[in-house]
Amino acid sequence: MPSTTSATSAAPATGTAAWRTTVGAYVALTKPRIIELLLVTTIPTLFLAQGGVPPLLLAFNTLFGGTLAAASANVFNCIIDRDIDAVMNRTKKRPLVTGDVSVRGAWIFASVLGVMSFVWLARFVNLLSGVLGVAAILLYVVFYTLILKRRTSQNIVWGGVAGCMPVLIGWSAVTNSLDWAPFLLFGVVFFWTPPHYWPLSMKFRKDYANAGVPMLPVVASDRRVAVEMVLYTLAMIACSIALWPVASLTAVYGVATVLLGGWFLLECVTLLRRLKDPALGKPRAMRVFHASITYLTLLSVAIVVDVLLPF
């Protein structure tokens, strides 16, 4: 017979493990990796709006409030799309599908996060940033998830507007206003979204088809998808170059944005050429997906470096 001491000491460990599992499930609903990508665009916008290093407390409050808003939107998305997630291999282990989190618990969690994001931004940043945070949640949950996602192949294009909101929030946090510079950054992220997301949709085409989600790679040929990726990339490059004079950046940013844009365009063109002529090599859509993340990260770094230059 095991001793009473051993049985008693085992109980707290089990309880701790269960608590960690529950917390981990709720965190997973917020899609942390997506939030990280959103913050990548907020940080350089703060530096650009400030014309230098933004006040650290302001930066923290902006990033924290923005994180709460993005987390709220992502949890609402998981609630609405739980039927789709259940039939897709990529998402069938999400907490609402496995039952690790109840629907009621997710609703409460998403709602609390949304209210907290508005209160935090409005109280510790400014009201405009708080309103933009709420707008980002509504755009992602209502405009994209409820209206567009299951109805049009251009869902990710217009739904991507929600992913552009962090640059507006970052700018308004510093200036309590909006200007042409943040809207050009908005354009960069807006036109970047299709060539970023469509390669992923190409990889998981069968998943989306089984779920009845008409992502462009589901309803169109890979060649057409690649052509549209090239066109969106050209528009993205145009916005990034236009930001150069509008935001009074130096040649350091100018050279960086041209080189980065040219490199990413080459990746998209290479994919298109290989789809047209398999003899040129195997098409690697996910290579473009990973390149898109690298592009946006390095462009953000270029903005920060340019702003911090002593001349």
CATH number at residue 120: 1.10.357.140
Amino acid identity of residue 144, one-letter, is Y
Parent domain of 194 = 32-308
Mean pLDDT of 214-239: 97
Does 165 reside within a domain?
yes
Does 77 reside within a domain?
yes
Q: Which is nearest to 189 in space by CA: 159, 156, 216, 167?
A: 167
Does 114 reside within a domain?
yes
Does 211 reside within a domain?
yes
Q: Which is nearest to 26 in space by CA: 105, 128, 129?
A: 105
Mean pLDDT of 278-284: 91
Does 3 reside within a domain?
no
pLDDT tops 50 at residue 6 = no
Contact 77, 138 (CB under 8 A): no
What is the total count of domains within the chain? Answer: 1
pLDDT in tens, 112-152: 999 999 999 999 999 999 999 999 999 999 999 999 999 99
pLDDT in tens, 185-198: 999 999 999 999 99
Query: Phi/psi at 251 (nearest 5 deg)?
Result: -65, -20
Does 196 reside within a domain?
yes
For residues 270 and 272, what is the distance between their CA atoms, to the nearest angstrom? Answer: 5
Report the first-to-last Cα separation within the chain, whole angstroms: 77
pLDDT in tens, 297-306: 999 999 999 9
Does 6 reside within a domain?
no
Does 58 reside within a domain?
yes
For position 7, what pLDDT does the model report? 41
For position 14, what pLDDT does the model report? 64
